[in-house]
A and B are shown apart, each in its own frame.
Chain A
Amino acid sequence: MKRLATMKKSTRNNLFTYALVIAAFVVVQALRVGPGIGSMLEGQLIPICAYVTMALALNLVVGISGELSLGHAGFMSIGAFAGSAFAMALQDSVGLSPLRLALAMVFGALIAAVLGFLIGIPVLRLNGDYLAIVTLAFGEIIKSIATNVYLGMDGNGLHFSFLNDTMDLSDGGVELIRGPMGVMNSQRISTFIAGFVLVLAALTIIFNLVNSRTGRAIMAARDNRIAAESVGISVTKYKMIAFVTSAALAGAAGTLYGCSQTTFVATRFDFNTSILILVFVVLGGLGNMWGSVIAATALTILPEALRQFSELRMLVYAIVLILVMLATNNPTLRGFFTRLFRREREGADAGVRAVKGGGGHE
């Protein structure tokens, strides 16, 4: 009976998350067709979708699998570079831009997944803070390498060089990746609808993974590694599944982001970006997917919305961040909020015990 109740709660949570994303999409799309949503928000729509997907991907690693990753921007970077280069290379052969974007996303996700697997082999042998520092190290290595890659294409096929530009492209050749100058997209093929589809796909993949035998094994390995091993769960294998899935989603998000920018460089995806995404996940609640969606959206809009305070905005952001962390984690303050909440609930009709799920945040 108890198990049934928890099952229902998780299904309810999942449905709520889908409903939230779809409703947000419908409202925004209706506003865009009708009165418009302002150029500030319009420009933020695709980055929001990319960051929401990043937050969902990282939540799979940090919340569900229980490993702290400080280098997830690296996978986003790989996705952005690989995906954009792929899209540009296909520019002549695939005319339909949504199809090209879809192919680019799959390619970006694939490359990021392969890299995630390779990185996962050493990383998942460690645990705790050592794992975190190694992911940080990989993020920095990816950044350094991506800054020095040159990739070009001409009539003779692909040209590649490292550290120095020695490609010697023939006439009509295209530079796909230009080292420290990054990528310059000739066409911005990402759309808000594509972003929405990506977010929905990410949610579907994550929910299906979490509610499967594999997902339960992943969570068992998180809750108690030794106990999980003793019942025959291969901890490394299941952690690897979560890590690679997360890397693939991050790669697709990177492609979405990359293809929405006229130009971007590898230093755009640095340690600070990884941290920013981690902030979304922690503020939204570990393992709580709709929390990640809301936190990523709110915190991507917030710095833009605070632009009127210009110089003060990042200071305000920092203070808000510290205060929220204190308010949600300090036992005294939390006790105060719970008491406040309980009193309200007692005041309301006892029969209406729906809404409040697990979270307890915001």
Chain B
Amino acid sequence: MVFLNYLISGIGLGSIYAIIALGYTMVYGIAKMLNFAHGDVIMVGAYICYFSMSGLSAHFEEGSLAAAVVPALAGTVLAMVVCTVLGVVIERLAYKPLRQAGSLAVLITAIGVSYFLQNAAQLLWSSSPKMFTPILSRDLQLSLPGGLSVSALTILTVVVCIVIMVGLTLFTGRTKMGKAMRACSEDKAAAQLMGIDVNRTISMTFAIGSALAAVAGVLYLSTYPSLVPTTGSMPGIKAFTAAVFGGIGSIPGALLGGLLLGIIEILAGGYISTQLQTAIVFAVLIVVLLVKPAGLLGKVVREKV
């Protein structure tokens, strides 16, 4: 019974990691860069949602249905919009000028952007922790037969994750933009020759990834409510690990990696030791990479001489 409860919260956490990992994996697949600022976009999204929720909730009657739904929904949408714009602006100002540069230069720039976002957040919103109001009350529990209980928040998280995953799979598989994205990730020069606007495609990828980061931020903070300017970095690193775990560049890989990572983290914390939780997660990652060097679902690219 305890095991099933751990499993459920693991799936909940894993779904959040999966949503963040999608942002990493899409950007990596197309721009071949590790976007270390992605975790901080999560934090910005969470702050935007926090402020709009606390601003809006005063206008509604307490306890009414509207008070429960409207601020949360509006906050999430606003956070998505702001993060989308932020993601595109970051790409345009910091990453686009380095399109031809080496991958290390881009990595360091991404780290610079990450520092920038964290410190700007600290200046704007101070470093004292804010208590995030969950978008769905944590008291809303669904009782299952056998003494199990699942919080509505976990169900919402999993549903959102599935919707996003299905949506993205359809998007990259069926639409013109999605096909352009896959073409760019395969071979940028050839894609350009086929009349694909590579810059626009990359901007689009950053826009989608950042919007997903905002959703993930709202969901993450609903579960772990303490909001500070460095909130985003740890889930960011974990989700990056999840993306590598599943095979970076692969969308189903991000889902699988995220879910497994979340489950392992919760189980390790529950059964072994909370102090060594993170160490165990990373140890499993190392073992997986040794057995499958390109991640669980990653493609092994053969190097030609």
Contact = CB atoms under 8 A, between A and B. Distances in A.
B294 A130 contact: yes
B123 to A, nearest CB: 6
A282 B240 CA distance: 22
B219 to A, nearest CB: 23
Contact of B237 (A136, A312, A332): A136
A344 interface: no
B301 to A, nearest CB: 10
Nearest to A135: B286
Interface string A108-149: 000000000000001001100110111011101100110110
Interface string A262-287: 00000000010001001100110010
Interface in B240-286: 240-241, 244, 248, 273, 275-276, 278-279, 282-283, 285-286
B122 to A, nearest CB: 8
Interface residues on B, range: 35 or more
Contacts of A311: 122-123
A315 B293 CA distance: 38
B199 interface: no
A106 to B, nearest CB: 28
A271 B115 contact: no
B290 A322 contact: no
A132 B33 CA distance: 13
A137 B105 contact: no
B230 to A, nearest CB: 9
B234 to A, nearest CB: 9
Contact of B116 (A132, A286, A318, A326): A318
Given A130-B289, A144-B279, A322-B116, A275 B111 contact: yes
Nearest to A313: B119
Interface string A298-337: 0000000000000110110111011001101111110000
Interface of B: 28, 34, 94, 97-98, 100-102, 104-105, 107-109, 111-113, 115-116, 118-120, 122-123, 233, 237, 240-241, 244, 248, 273, 275-276, 278-279, 282-283, 285-286, 289-290, 293-295, 303, 305
Given A136-B241, A314-B115, A326-B109, 18 more contacts: A130-B295, A137-B285, A137-B286, A225-B303, A226-B303, A279-B108, A282-B104, A311-B122, A315-B123, A318-B112, A318-B113, A318-B116, A321-B111, A321-B115, A322-B116, A325-B112, A326-B98, A329-B97
